[in-house]
Amino acid sequence: DGGITQSPKYLFRKEGQNVTLSCEQNLNHDAMYWYRQDPGQGLRLIYYSQIVNDFQKGDIAEGYSVSREKKESFPLTVTSAQKNPTAFYLCASNAGYTDTQYFGPGTRLTVL
């Protein structure tokens, strides 16, 4: 999982702002995922992408957007439409021929 990086580690957002979280992997993995983690809860799927230029909504996609222009990169934008964005955001990837997902170190987003 050292091949998956996320930046920044901490991010502060003002009300009404859009912010973009970065996720990069050098594992040559086909599939990438974004999860949101709130205290005392499991991980909830926001978006996932199985191939370049294609992505699917997860359970809590409202207020978020993604792109997959390169195999290595899957950025997540938290828009002003997301009313409660304060959370820990985790990116993951897997090779496609296996189910095992490996996680990045996460970005903690706080709304001021």
Binding site for other proteins (CB under 8 A): 1, 31, 33, 40-45, 48, 50, 59, 90, 99-106, 108
Instruction: Please state the closest distance from residue 90 (CB atom) to other proteins, in A.
Output: 7
Asked if 26 and 19 count as a contact pair (C-beta separation under 8 A), the reply is no
Distance CA 91, CA 72 (A): 12
Distance CA 15, CA 1 (A): 33
- Collect contacts of 47-54 with beta carbons under 8 A, ≥24 apart: 47/76, 49/74, 50/96
Instruction: Please state the closest distance from residue 85 (CB atom) to other proteins, in A.
Output: 18
Instruction: Please state the closest distance from residue 53 (CB atom) to other proteins, in A.
Output: 17
CB nearer other proteins, residue 15 or residue 99:
99
Instruction: Please state the closest distance from residue 99 (CB atom) to other proteins, in A.
Output: 4
Distance CA 48, CA 32 (A): 6
Distance CA 32, CA 67 (A): 11
